[in-house]
Structures are given as structure tokens and as C-alpha cells.
Chains A and B, each alone.
Chain A
Amino acid sequence: MVVATRVLSYRQAINEALRLEMRRDPTVILMGEDVAGGATIQHIEQEGAWGGPLGVTKSLVSEFGRQRVLDTPISEAAFIGAAVGAAVTGLRPVAELMFVDFFGVCMDQIFNQGAKLRYMFGGKAKVPMVIRTMIGAGFGAAGQHSGCHYAVFAHMPGLKAVAPATPYDAKGLLIAAIRDDDPVMFFEHKMLYDMTGEVPEGDYVVPIGKADIKREGNDVTIVAISRMVHIALEAAKRLSTEGIEAEVVDLRSLSPLDEDAVLSSLAKTRRLVVVDEDNPRCSVAADIAALAVDKGFDYLDAPVKLVTAPHTPVPFSPSLERYYIPTPERVIAAVREIV
């Protein structure tokens, strides 16, 4: 079967995934702050105001109405918890936690309720919910609107966590997340919303727990997450001019983790660099390094190198923020140390 593709932005791909799943399944609802926007204001009751602060859910309210695209008060604990309750009783809610940094005000509902409920109930319940949330620095949004923090969630039993890097993966992973019977954290990098790429029409699934080789190479494996995949690809391109061929593994899923993809690439290249925009302590990058040392030790011909953010909050000033975010230059420097 030939499936038509067209070029969509990462933002449009996410919007399309939501639209298709809401059409397909009447139990899918969307809830969050300003996901439609302008609730009860007559002249925008139909089309909504914002469609989310960066327009990701724009116009969904026109098709599905206010009953399924629910603007919430700024009460993250209440509406994330309501998503848990709705999921356990039969809906498939997609809740939007506007910025991941806001998890502090609703974490109990995510990790003590949503994540643990099935286990504590002896497997009698399921919690098919998705929490979409924005991550990442680069916007000048500073300390409380710029973190990644996905390691916090990948650490929690009961949660799944995915972080797509391309429009194609964003659509396929979001459809997979909505259809998944477990709670899934869906991390959207705010600097990727305008990135474009080929996206098939219609529905398709990118399976949760499967990494993707974004570039093949034999000399070093660069494992990267979300926006860092593009930093890694840029580094790989430049390294190629020096005769170093890097393999770029886009992790896509943080929990579960595609250990086989990492290890089989490592078996081939025998060298590993991990690029992660999250803070380094107890991070996904550190977890990948531990995996390499534990299960891939015999493959390793050199130390594992981690290219990460520093152990600081995200700073405001452009010069400071640029310093914070991993760059192709830092990735290249790390590769040069071990190749």
C-alpha cells in the first residue's frame, strides 16, 4: 500500500496525531491549561483562543467541541489527577502539563497515584493516560520553563516515557502512547515545534521502547535524546569530513529503554558517546553509561563519554543558556577523545 506523505512540522504532526485518535476513539479527551483557550468567551467558543501556549492543539476544539477539549483552571494537581481518575474508569485522557518544570505542583498525582495504582491494586486496574509536556532550553525561558527532567519520570516504575526528535516520530509515538494501556509521559521539545519533516497521512504507530538509528556509522556510537539527536547528527556530519563515521542512535523511548539497540551499535563501533540535554546526575545519560559498562563492557575500547547540560538550573541570559545546552562542538570534542 502506498501511503502519501507530506511535509509537516513537529507541531502539526502532534496536532494530527491527536486529531486522528480523537476521531477514532470517542474516549480520547484532551485537557489542560488553554488547550483550546478562551472557554466561555462567546466569539471564540467554537475555535478557541490559543490551542496551547505554542499552538500545538490549535483548532482541535472546532472539530471536537468543548466537551472533549477541556480548558482547565491552573490547577495541575487537580486536572492531572482527574486524568488518572478518568483513565482508570474508562477514558483515554491526554493531559497537557504545559512545561515539565511544573511537575513540582502535581507530582503526587503522577507518581504516587497514576504510576502506582495498577500495582497497588494487584493488576486489577489500568491507567491509559498520556501526559504531554514541553521540555528544553533555547527559548530564553530560564529556570522554571526550560528543563528536561525526563530522567525523573524514567526513574519511576509504572510510567513510560518517550521523547520524539522528528515530526514522523512525534506523530507515531503519540498515537502509540494514546493507544497504550499504561500511563505515558510524552516529552515535546519546544525548540523542535517548527522543525519539518516527511510525515505519512493516516495513522501509524512508532512502537514505544524502540530506538531508531538516525545515521549509520562504524567508528563511534552517539546515543542522543530529543533535540540532541539533531546536535548529534550535525556533529556526525562534521566528523565525517575528518573520516570519522558516527552512528547516531535516537533513543526515542526512555522507559522502557531499547537496550539491544544501544548494545548492538556499541558492539559494532566499540565506542560510546551519550548526548543528553538533561542535568547529568542520575540521568538517562548516566543510565546508558551504566548499561554499557554492565552489559557491553567487552565491547568497549574506550571510556564512555557523556555530553550533557551542567548540574545547574537553566540560566536566562543568551550567553549563559548557549553555554548550558550541549553543542555539536562539545560532541565532536568528546568523540575525538575516544576515537
Chain B
Amino acid sequence: MEIPRERLRWIYERMALIRAFEDRVAQEFAAGKLPGFVHLYAGEEAIAVGVCAHLTDRDYITSTHRGHGHCIAKGVDVKAMMAELFGKATGVCKGKGGSMHIADVDKGMLGANGIVGGGPPIACGAGLMAKTLGTDQVAVCFFGDGAAEQGTTHEAMNLAAIWKLPVVFVCENNLYAESTPWTYHCAAPDIASRAAAYDMPGVLVDGTDVFAVYEAAGEAIARARRGEGPTLLECRAFRYYGHFQGDAVSYRTPEEEAAYRQRDPIQRFRQTVLSQGLLSEDELDAIDAAVQHEINEAVRFAEASPLPPPEDCLTDVYVSYPAEQLAFRH
């Protein structure tokens, strides 16, 4: 599949930005600057970017607890994201969501989700909106191999199929649901083949190869836009960090991790575009430098931003509700 040069640059820039964001978040978290739980996406960049390359701001995605990569691929402002992770008033969710619920509906990003399997029904709803109003919007539902075992995922795939909704289900199989290997928790030899149960195409994709993801997602999204219904993609990749920051990752061996680093999605992209003369080394290095600068700026912005005033706890619960009934009693 021919990819225009500008889009190739965008793909590299987004993957590099995700990687740099996550590596920096790991550092800042270790330094004790971030409250709460953090789940990092490094290693899986090719999936979010390869898929979102086909989407506009008007298209929707639902995400997972590991949602930073999806945000960045969907174009959410990195400064506002970093500020959100720091719990600052300038955060994209005003410090009310944090890493696990980071969202930006203006960019079509319907939220990271603290509930495994929380997103698939919501993606169906976005697809239902498009179908009802007769628009050409699509919804992409990212979910993990863990969520593949949730009833909501199966119910949602069935619903999308019977209603022919413009939804693409993207299973990011990173091989472990928390510490439990997918070969244990999944009865089937792969997740993609479950598509057969819902009479939709199911495609197994190398999730470390952004070109493969781009091609498969392009087909699935085009099919959805044509009104031909949902597709299930299973993209296999590897998360470099643990399930959450603080996970000692005792369930993986160093050899296993080293083998996956050999297939690093960003390095693979570099090798491909350089060997085929699609982009130059200088170009890629310049993108890397710009990305580093952007991340440094984002952290500076987040650190310099104020915490939300405590009383902001009471706002944004409802569009309208008696204020005195939101407050604590005494």
C-alpha cells in the first residue's frame, strides 16, 4: 500500500511522540510526581498510529486503561495530556480524569477506561449515532486481550454486527492480561477468529509492523464507512513496561523481553523507510528532536500549572443540579 510522504512523516512523529511521552511519564512517575495508577503504551505504538492514521477528528475512538497512545494518535494535545497526568487544572480533563480516564471528545477520543471491557458498548453507541444520522463517521474500539474475555466485548461485537454499525474492533493483544498470559485466558488459538461468531471479518495482524496495521485498518475502516459493518482486528504486540508502573514483571523472562525489542515498531519503521528511501535519516532525526522538545515543553507546562482549586471537586458532575446537593453535608 502506497502511503503519502506527509502521512509517513506523521506516522513516525506520532509513534516517536508516544514513545517519548511514555518513557518520560515512567521517569516522572518514578520520581513521585504523578498521583495514582499509570499504564504505559510503549511498544504498542504501531497499533494506535496505524489505525488512527485513517481517522479524522469527527471519527470516534474508545480506549482502554492504557490510553495515552490512543490519545496521541488521535491528536489530543500533549501538553494538556501531561498536565492531566500531573493532576493540574490545565489538564485536558481539568485534573478530574487522570491517566485512566483521559479523554477529549473534541478530538473524538471517548476516553481511556478504568473498566476492562468498558469501551466496546460505547463505541457501538458512537457508531449508532453515525448510522442514525446518516453520516460517514466511524468508531474504533481499542481493547486488550484481557477485555476479549469480557461479556461486554462479545455483546458489543454482536450488536455492531446485527445493526451493521460502522465500528472497527481493534484487539491489542499484548500477550498478558495483567500478569496472566493470553494463552491461558483465551480458549481459542487466536482472538481474531472469534469474528466468525459474529459473521464479521477477523484479521490477525502483526501489531509491531505499522505498515501491516495501516493496511488492515484502512480496509476495515473503509468497509465501515461504506456501511458494510464491523471488522475485528487482532494486533499482536508487546508492552515494554509492566501492566502498571510498579509492576515487577516477574511473569516475563529477560530473554522474552529482548526478543520483542528486536521487533521494536519504531525501529522497524525506520529501517523500512530508510532502506526504501522513503524518508531520510536527517528527517527522522529532526522529528526525534522536535518530539523531545515537545515532551520537555509538556512537562514544563504541567509542572508550572496550578492544581485545581479544591472546590472544583463539585463542578462538572451534571449539566444542571442544585449546587447545595453536590456539596458534602458538613
Contact = CB atoms under 8 A, between A and B. Distances in A.
B267 interface: no
B126 to A, nearest CB: 5
A242 to B, nearest CB: 37
Nearest to A291: B329
B133 A79 contact: no
B298 interface: no
Contacts of A122: 91-97, 316
Interface in B104-143: 104-106, 110-111, 113-115, 118, 120-130, 132-133, 139
Contact of A119 (B92, B127, B151, B316): B316
B250 interface: no
Contacts of B162: 73
Nearest to A105: B151
Interface in A179-227: 180-182, 209
Contact of A84 (B97, B104, B125, B151): B125
Interface string A99-127: 00000000011001100111111111110
Interface stretch (B21-29, B153-161, B173-181): B153-161
B73 interface: no
B320 interface: yes
Contacts of B197: none
A158 interface: yes
Contact of A124 (B95, B104, B124): B104
B252 to A, nearest CB: 30
B248 interface: no
A82 B316 contact: no
A70 B95 CA distance: 37
B96 A85 contact: no
Contact of B124 (A81, A113, A259): A81
Given A122-B96, A122-B97, A86 B152 contact: no
A112 B115 CA distance: 8
B103 A125 contact: yes
A69 to B, nearest CB: 12
Nearest to B141: A85
B31 interface: no
Given A67-B132, A118-B316, A85 B121 contact: yes
Nearest to A259: B325
A257 interface: yes
Interface in B185-230: none
A160 B105 contact: no
Contact of A81 (B96, B111, B120, B326): B120
Given A73-B162, A75-B159, A209-B322, A85 B129 contact: yes
A14 interface: no
Contacts of B315: 123
B60 A89 contact: yes
A136 B326 CA distance: 28
Interface in B42-69: 60, 62
B129 A90 contact: yes
Given A81-B156, A121-B103, A158 B318 contact: yes
B325 A256 contact: yes
Given A88-B110, A124-B93, A160-B318, A113 B139 contact: no
Contacts of B93: 120-122, 124
Contacts of B318: 118, 158, 160, 182
A257 B325 contact: yes
A292 B126 CA distance: 44
Interface in A234-258: 256-257
A323 B325 CA distance: 35
B259 interface: no
B124 A78 contact: yes
B317 A78 contact: no
B152 A82 contact: no
A86 B128 contact: yes
Contacts of A77: 121, 151-152, 155
A67 B133 CA distance: 10
Contacts of A90: 129, 133
A237 to B, nearest CB: 33
Contacts of B115: 108, 112-113
B319 interface: yes
A160 B152 CA distance: 24
A93 B132 CA distance: 11
Contacts of A70: 163
A154 to B, nearest CB: 11
Question: Which 3 pairs across A and B sit closest by C-beta, in order of nearness?
Answer: A85-B125, A81-B121, A123-B316
Interface of A: 27, 29, 67-68, 70, 72-73, 75, 77-91, 93, 108-109, 112-113, 116-126, 157-158, 160, 180-182, 209, 256-257, 259, 294
Interface of B: 60, 62, 91-97, 101, 103-106, 110-111, 113-115, 118, 120-130, 132-133, 139, 151-152, 155-156, 158-159, 162-163, 315-322, 325-326, 329
Given A78-B124, A84-B122, 6 more contacts: A70-B163, A78-B120, A82-B159, A84-B125, A88-B110, A256-B322
17 contacts: A72-B159, A73-B159, A77-B151, A78-B155, A82-B121, A84-B122, A84-B125, A85-B129, A89-B110, A91-B128, A112-B118, A116-B101, A119-B316, A120-B96, A124-B93, A160-B321, A256-B325
